[in-house]
């Protein structure tokens, strides 16, 4: 729908994951904060897309990411 093919093999998906040296093995709170940052980036990027053809798909994904943000923020609230 977006003009890209999905990876079909495990080998093709390896490019999506970070290298071990790129991952900071911090505390659980730091890891949750990293997840929050990633979800915020995805939400911002999706909201800027403005592609009406994929609008319904984006709405479903935005719902997922915004719910994840709500739950992750609740985890780190003291």
The per-residue pLDDT for range 18-73, each reduced to its tens digit, is 676 666 667 888 888 888 898 888 888 877 766 666 777 778 888 888 899 999 99
Residues sharing a CB contact under 8 Å with residue 7, sequence separation 6 or more, in sequence order: 13, 16
Reading the block at residue 46, the tokens are 């999706």
- Is residue 53 included in any domain, yes or no? yes
Domain extent at residue 39 = 24-76
The pLDDT score that the predictor gives to residue 74 is 92
Q: Which two tokens stand for residue 51?
A: 């592609």
pTM over 0.75: no
Residue 9 lies in a domain: no
DSSP state at residue 7: P
In a domain, 42, yes or no: yes
Six-digit token string for 74? 């609740």
The domain total for the chain is 1
Which residues lie below 8 Å from residue 24, measured CB to CB, with a gap of 6+?
30, 34
Per-residue confidence (pLDDT) for residue 13, from 0 to 100: 75
């Amino acid at each position: 729908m977006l003009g890209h093919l999905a990876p079909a093999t495990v080998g093709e998906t390896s490019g999506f994951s970070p290298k071990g040296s790129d991952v900071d093995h911090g505390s659980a709170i730091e890891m949750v904060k990293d997840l929050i940052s990633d979800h915020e980036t995805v939400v911002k990027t999706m909201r800027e897309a403005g592609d009406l053809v994929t609008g319904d798909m984006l709405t479903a994904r935005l719902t997922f990411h915004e719910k994840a943000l709500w739950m992750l923020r609740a985890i780190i609230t003291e």
